[in-house]
Structures are given as structure tokens and as C-alpha cells.
Structure 1
Amino acid sequence: MTQQVIICVDDEKTILSSLKAELQEAVGKDYIIEIAEGGEEALELIEELLEDGDEIPLLISDHIMPEMKGDELLKQAHLILPKTIKIMLTGQADLGAIAHAINSANLYRYITKPWQSEDLKLTVKEALNSYFQDKQLTEQNAKLHQINQELAQLNSQQTALIAKLHENENRLRQFLEAMPIGVGVLGADGKPYYVNRKAKEIFGKGVVPNTSSEQLSEVYEVYQAGTNQKYPTENLPIVRALKGEIARADDAEVHQGDKIIPLEIFATPIYDQQGNIVYAINTLQDITERKEAEAERKKFIQDLFEVNSNLELSLDAELEIAEATSRFVPNEFLAFLGCDSIVDIKLGGAVELEMSVLFSDIRDFTTLSEQMTPTENFKFINSYLSRMEPLIVENKGFIDKYIGDAIMALFSEGADDAVKAGIAMLHTLAEYNRDREHVTFAMSINTRQLQHDFFTDHQYN
């Protein structure tokens, strides 16, 4: 355990005894009073106390001593104990020694002999208070320095994190800008925060400052599908997402002058680490082509019912209709509806299923087709599609539609079937490319360069 020690140094034992008694009375049991009869003995005592882990807040030394003067002792002691308070006792006013002690040992005070008891006690108490105040201040400064270092380190880390955050934000922004679908973000206050390039094309505008959530339909010209009525803002998926809901809608459309854009909207809330909603994000898909295709199919079915409404169809007629309509409506769709023929379909009949969708098309087909005659194009597309369709069927899928060189296939039993079909298509495609390359080389070495790189990209959802 660390002890607080006061050292008294004088070459006269009587003075040491008296000094020790008065100091003990002044400081009580909180301090141990150690004495030394000369400078060398005092320095040895200091080393012993420090080795034992004791603390020496005060050193009182006589000046006139035979072996080592008091000012020299205090000077050497100061090298070992720079924080210790030093007081000099002197019977003669040796100003040179006092000045030396002040300059070399940071002398706190000198007391003349014989000393006044109350003056000695008061001086010692003030010296001890000064020592511990300096010690406390030093410790506080050390802690403050440590805190400053930690703050500097935290600031450095924060700067690095902010830089990393900005980098990630830029990457995310670039990703969102490159997306082929519209993306919009609302802040927690319901005001538009971000609109990507595609969404700007759909709305004809980007972020409109100071727009509240109640003004979204008005500002961005969002209507109920097929009407001139503004879409209720409280029903907008992105507004619902701000309330914690994952929402979808396909009954909204945007009016841009005479242009009407039907939309499919998905929205979801974004939470912080405390579970608070900080943003709502939605995606906007222009479903004009889908709506047109649905309208065409509906019209075809309606026309078909009108033509046959007053006729009793024979089995042969039904087969002929089924064969004709299969060119437009895959038989698998009829099976999902529980119908053997399109004539069994009733208006309003619907089934919801979770499907996996596979899209594929020929990379750079436009460039490739420009190098072929119409006949060659037709043969090439038929040759390619005739190899791809069986692979989709073998893996429990069916083709929903051909879009030029593109294929849209559906799988009702899981994404694994779509992936297997895609892999099989890639393998068959590699063989097909090799076969075409050999044929092309055999026909004309001059056309080989044009046919070498027509292979396709495939995407899977």
C-alpha cells in the first residue's frame, strides 16, 4: 500500500526531533515523518522509499549542514522528485543559496530559524494542498490528453467512415440510375428524397422540393387507372410503406399530356438500427405492353365468344378453335384455369400462382440481323428457337411468348427448373454455335468473321 511520507533533513538531532513532533501534530496520522541527518542520508532514504512504492509530497531541509548544503540537496532531490514540494530552513539569510534553490529545485518557501510553530504548520498544510492540487491537475491533464487522443482517433475513424459512406452512396446512386425500372424514395417526413433516371422519364420530373406526401398524386400526375380521378395519396404504395406496410398496386397510371403510362408499383419501408422507419422506397414498372397484350387477348376471347354465342360447337369445331387459339394462348394457361379448351373459359375467371420467369435473347441480334437477308434471318431464328423450346419443356416450363429473338418462359414448380432450363440452353447454345461456325467456314471463309460472335446472353428471374 502506498504511504505518504514527509522527509525532514537537519544535522542537529534536537531540531529534527522537534521538527518531527510539530509536523506529526500538524498532519496527523495521514502522513509518515521520516528524518535524515545529512544530504547523503536523505538521498539514500529517498531511493528506499521510492523502491517501496511510497510517495513523497514534501521535503524540508536545513541549509547549513557540514557534508552537503541544503540548496545542493534540494537540487539533487529535485532531479529525482520534480513534483515534490521543497522547503528550506535557514538560520542565516543566505540569499544566494535561496536563489540557487529557487532556480534549480523550484523552492516553495524558506523558513528562518527559530521558526514560529503556527507559521510552520500553516506552511506545511498549504504546501501539501498545493502538491495534491498539482497532482490532481496533472492527472486531469493526462486524462484530458488521453481523451483528446481518443477523440482525434475517433474523428479520424469518423472521417474514414464518412468517406466510405459517401463512396457507397455514390455506388448505390450509380446502380439506381442504371436500373431499367423507376425508383423513388420518400424521407420519413413524407417528402420526395430521390428519383432515379427512369422514374424521371415516367413522371416527366424529378424531386420536387417541399412536396408533402398528401400532394404526391397532384404533383406527379398519378391517376386511378382508366379514369381522370387522382389516385388517393393514402393508398399510394410508397405512402403505405411509410406506415410500415409492404404494398403493391397495378391500378395507377401517370398522365403526361396526351400520354398515359400504366404502372405496377411495389413499395417497402426502410428501417434504421433502432427499428424506426427512415425511408420508404418504391419501384415503378411501365406495364404498357402488358396492358396492351391483355387487352388484345381479352378482345380475342370476347370476339370468339360473340361469334360462337349462338352456335352449338361440335367436337371438331372445338378442336379447331383450340388449335387456333393455342398460337396465342399457351395450353398451360388453360390447364391452370382448369379448362380443356378456350371455349370453357368464363369471363372473370382467374388463378393466382407463384411463377418463376426466364428471359433470354440473342446478344447483338440487331447488328447480326443486319448482315443477313430476310430469308436468312427467318431460318436462323427458327433454327435457334427450335433448339431452345424443347429444353424449356423438358424442364417443366412452357413458353409464354416470343418477342422477336427473345423468349419469355414460365415455370410453376420452382426456380430450380428455370435454372436447369437455362443451363441446358447454354450447353445446347454452345454446340449450336460450334455447328454454325463450322458450316459458315465451309461455305465461305470471308463470312466467318461476321458469324463468329452471335452467341446469346441469358437472364434468369
Structure 2
Amino acid sequence: VAEGDRNLISHQVTAKLPIIHSQSPANQELLETDKIKILIVDDEPINIQVLVNSLSSENYVITQASNGLEALTLIEEGFKPDLILLDVMMPKITGYEVCREVRKKYSPLELPILMLTAKNQTSDLVEAFNLEANDYVTKPFVKKELLARINTQIRLAKMNAAYGRFVPHDFLSLLEKPSIIEVKLGEHQEKNMTVLFADIRSFTALSEKMTPPENFAFINNYLGRVSPVIRKNNGFIDKYIGDAVMALFPTCPDDGVRAAIDMQKEVNLYNQQRQENGLAPIAIGIGLHAGNLMLGTIGERERMESTVIADAVNLASRLEGLTKVYGSGILVSDAIMARLDDREKYKYRFVDRVTVKGKTNVVSVFEIYDTETEESIQLKQQTAEVFQVGLDFYYQQKFVAAQKVFQNILHINPEDKVAMLYFKRSRKYRMYGVPDGWAGVEISTDK
């Protein structure tokens, strides 16, 4: 126990229930979400109460666990404190074992562990540090020293979290580096992943009507809505390029497609709010492709950044650009469609075969339209079979029949921009013929 607290009368402390202390005047203005969460793990109620009293002057939210198993259960259920004060000698499972299990989920930079114990032999300290405990305090402790050590570890963890906002921890994991300080210029790894590009349509025209502060507020409001759904679907944001977002999904293409759908849903909700405030709705285009990527660092000794280099990145960007051509919210490549666990879970249709700017390989492009209006979805599903018939005529160079089919679709669904595109192409090729060597592949010049 702490010096000066040894005459404290023991009483029962309920495990798991948070005790909130916010007496420090300097911290009164912090929001509840900004308060530092500390998990105290000790099998002695008197020790827990002494620690609570020692921390009472700080802006900490304290959660208690009366043994190691309770602590591990809390963490397994999703609770992530900012720091763990961990007793070593406990029944059933020791603090050393708790530390070992926690480190399987969180690194020392992500979740500091400060061990408390009466054991003060060098071998005890070495064992704790070998298990990646951040610090070690012997009992009886001095309150000021304990607070200083806690604040140091939390400050280091927050500094690491701040770095993570600029270089994602997922990126470091893919480079097989536990921390940004271990990354060296030129290091790289090759991975097969899904790439997502998203961009606000006509952003330049929108931004011209806003002041610089309004531009920043608008972009951050938008990004604050779409970015979390990327993380929710097991992706991470590689970079922001103005209003554009580039995200990576290391696990499977389904994650990327679900994220794209959720992003469009978030924009729909955002537009409801904008319209209530008398603002015009916005639209975004999203392109996805999957393939081998080279992740690494570029730059020079004094200034470097993480980046991804690959044809897959360029193609995903080009597909995003093509959303404007086809009037689509989400376009994906055939590589995405081929790797989906069950493509029938999505509302999709074939759009075109193209070679994008700067590339020679032919890419089959598909539209995913799950987030369009109910009327649009219904009309596209209603005309799906005849749309395929029109495509068959088109690729067989039966342009008279193809033109008639797409004209009929437009009578049913005048807003179908893809049908309009094929109608115009069929009419042009019927009137002027096709170029030599034509194989139904469009050469896209859009960036």
C-alpha cells in the first residue's frame, strides 16, 4: 500500500464498476470521452481502494478487476483502457500471465501495463520486462512517483496514437514493424489487397462557393462520416488527397465492397442533413480493384512517407473516375467480382469492357447499385434480362437490334445512363461502322 495510507480501513470494492474522478480543475473542461481510463487489477480490496484514493485527484475513469481472469474477460469483451495497473501475485492467474495474454492483442505502445508488486528482485523486473510490461513499481509505492510513471506511459501511448493518425498502425503491421521509429527508408512488402478510391463529384464547383474555413469544415465533416465505416469493414485509410480517400483492405474484397456500400449510405444520411439546412446534396464515386501491391516508404533521409505503388492502385483510381461516365455510385473490376465470397449478395450488373488511360489490359467493369433509390433499383432489376439481351446484340455487332433494345429500356428507365451510353454507341456504329479490329472494348481517356 502507499506510504501514508496504511491505516486505511478496509471495505469491499465491487469489481468491474467504473468509478469516475474528475476533481482536478485543470481537467474539468475535458469531455467524458477524453478522460483517461485505467484498469486496476488486484485481488486485495484494500490495495484497490488505496490506488483509487491515490488517483482521485486526476481525471481518470477507473475500472476494477479483482483477479486476472476478470481483467482478461473485460478486455476480451472489447474494453480497452488507456493503462493497466497490474498486481503480480494473484491467485489462479498471475500478473505475468495476464501481461502475456494482453500482449497477444495489444502492443506496449497501444496499451501500457504498469506492474505493481512487493517483489523487487532483479529477476522479477527482468521477467516483467521480458513479457513487455512498460514499467514496474514496487510496493509500498510513493504516490507522486506512481502518478509520474502513469502520466509518462500515457503520454508515450498518446504520442504513438498521434503518429498512428498520420501513418496507420495497419500499414506498420503490413511492413511487419511494431512502431514507426523502426521504419527505414525504402523498406517494402508485397501484398495482395483490395484498393478503394472515393471522390466527391464536382468538388471544385462546390469549393468555389465556400470560404477556406468552410471548405475545411465541409471536408472534415464528410470524411468524419465515411472514414469510420472503412475501419468498421476491416480496412484502413492509406491517405487523403483533398476530398479523395484511398483505402486498403488486406483481408478480402468483400470488406471493400461492404465499405463502399456503407460509405454511400452515410452520404445519403449526410445529404438528408444538408437538405434540412438548405444545402445542396453531394454525390461521391467509388472505384475498387484487387491485386498485388507494393507497400513501403519513399522520400529521403529528412522527409519520407508511406505509400503504395502498383497498377492495382492506378486502376482503382481510374474506375473511380469512370463512375462519372456511367453515372454509377460504385464501380468494381472483374478481379473484385471473381473474388467475392457470394456475388449474389449484392445488386450488380456488367457495365463495359475498357482499357483505361495508360494501360493496355482489358478490364471488365461492373456496377454495384445497392444504395441507389428504391425506384432506381427496381427499374434496373426489371430491365436486367433485356439489358443483357441488348449487350449480346451489341457485342455481336447487331447494332440495329441493340439500339432498339436500349431505346426500350430508356422508355422504362430514362435515368439509366449506361443504357443511354449503349444506345448512342449502337446508333453511331450502325451509321458509321466500327473501327478496324473492334472487339467491343472502349478506350477510356478519363483519369
Using the size of structure 2 for normalisation, the TM-score is: 0.31
Between structure 1 and structure 2, the one with the greater Rg is 1
TM-score by length of structure 1 reads 0.30
